[in-house]
């Protein structure tokens, strides 16, 4: 059985509309997940280790103030389009749209005020929580009124995240959750002692602004071959990599399948990622620099967390040979990602 509780987390500043931010606590026998109505942010995720002790394995802040300041999307749902759109420009049905540029020459994670920075309307479910919002036509430059539902369901050690959307005009859409994990416990110095595997035969090489070049490259014989588990620190050294911030191309199937796995041998904690999405962005916290003070006043240095963001491929709206990212009126966007936590 999952227990669901709600409490007030804080109040948005007046210039942001002044609404009340609630925190929802989902609790099963093996896990506890805390989620905010601001940005559908996962602010804590506690799981057992081999020793039976609980640790919080996601990065974040103790108070609303932390989330109101600039931060790298800790735990948030990002949209309308996750990841990067080259030059913030795209064309749908012959009409060109220009977005705000918030990542060098590109638009990232929905723009200046994306889905991560707004209040969502919550509805408590028997074993979870559903958040809803209407993203109005023209918000951040995107076309169409977009209705969006994000549902978190906790069952034992499995957290399911379902994303649904409907639009009044053709629009690109790509939704994911940007949680940063460290299975040794948030605040641990690095993730070099984690084993990572990703079920992908190919990945997307990128230019120096992190936009895919358009090539779909085989992982075979490269540092991007993560089909067998690798110890992250040794692997980065062996291939002289500064870290990962790349999309891995998954088997094109709408059905649930295992797409990635992270394991921390010292604590025995494992996280499996299952999804219906066509891609997964593996990011190793390369831009964390120790300047942010997180939960319990700890610093978050470079490579102190990883993200496994299930999603469509970056800049797909400008790459006809990438999976379709356009949602049209009368259709429904519907994807689910399952995070399965265990310890042995």
The residues annotated as belonging to the active site are: 178, 309
The span from the CA of 337 to the CA of 40, in Å, is 15
Q: Which two tokens stand for residue 136?
A: 């109005």
DSSP states of 210-265:
S-B-S--EE-TTSTT--SS-EEHHHHHHHTT-S--EEEEEPP--SS-EEEEEEEET
Instruction: Report whether 179 belongs to an annotated binding site.
Output: yes
Q: Which two tokens stand for residue 242?
A: 């500064």
Instruction: Report whether 109 belongs to an annotated binding site.
Output: no
Helix, strand, or coil here: 324?
coil
Instruction: Report whether 178 belongs to an annotated binding site.
Output: yes
Q: Which two tokens stand for residue 115?
A: 């889905």
The span from the CA of 74 to the CA of 179, in Å, is 6
The span from the CA of 333 to the CA of 325, in Å, is 10
Instruction: Report whether 133 belongs to an annotated binding site.
Output: no
Q: What is the largest CA-CA distance in the chain?
A: 59
Chain centre to alpha carbon of residue 103: 17
Q: Which two tokens stand for residue 189?
A: 């110095």
Binding residues for beta-D-galactose: 83-84, 178-180, 245
Binding residues: 83-84, 178-180, 245
């Amino acid at each position: 059985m999952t227990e669901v509780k709600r409490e007030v987390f804080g109040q948005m500043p007046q210039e942001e509309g002044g609404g009340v931010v609630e925190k929802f606590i989902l609790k099963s026998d093996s896990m506890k997940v805390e989620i905010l109505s601001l940005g559908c942010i996962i602010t804590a995720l506690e799981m057992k280790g081999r020793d039976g002790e609980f640790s919080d394995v996601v990065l974040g802040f103790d108070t609303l103030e932390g989330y109101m300041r600039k931060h790298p999307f800790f735990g948030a749902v990002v949209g309308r389009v996750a990841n990067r759109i080259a030059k913030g420009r795209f064309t749908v049905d012959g009409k060109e749209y220009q977005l705000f540029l918030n990542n060098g020459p590109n638009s990232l994670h929905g723009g200046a005020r994306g889905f991560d920075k707004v209040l969502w309307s919550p509805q408590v479910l028997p074993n979870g929580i559903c958040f809803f919002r209407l993203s109005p036509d023209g918000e951040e430059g995107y076309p169409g009124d977009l209705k969006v539902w994000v549902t978190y369901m906790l069952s034992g050690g499995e957290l399911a995240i379902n994303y649904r959307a409907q639009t009044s005009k053709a629009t690109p859409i790509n939704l994911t959750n940007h949680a940063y994990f460290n299975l040794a416990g948030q605040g641990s110095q690095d993730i070099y002692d984690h084993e990572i595997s990703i079920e992908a035969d190919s990945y997307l090489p990128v230019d120096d602004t992190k936009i895919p070049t358009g090539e779909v490259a085989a992982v075979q014989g490269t540092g991007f071959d993560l089909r067998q588990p690798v110890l992250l620190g040794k692997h980065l050294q062996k291939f002289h990599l500064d870290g990962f911030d790349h999309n891995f191309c998954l088997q094109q199937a709408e059905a649930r399948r295992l797409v990635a796995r992270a394991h921390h041998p010292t604590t025995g904690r494992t996280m499996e990622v299952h999804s219906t999405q066509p891609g997964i962005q593996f990011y190793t916290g390369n831009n964390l620099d120790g300047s942010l003070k997180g939960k319990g006043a700890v610093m978050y240095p470079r490579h102190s967390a990883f993200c496994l963001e299930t999603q469509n491929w970056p800049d797909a709206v400008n790459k006809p040979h990438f999976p379709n990212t356009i949602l049209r009126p009368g259709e429904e966007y519907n994807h689910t990602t399952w995070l399965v936590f265990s310890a042995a």
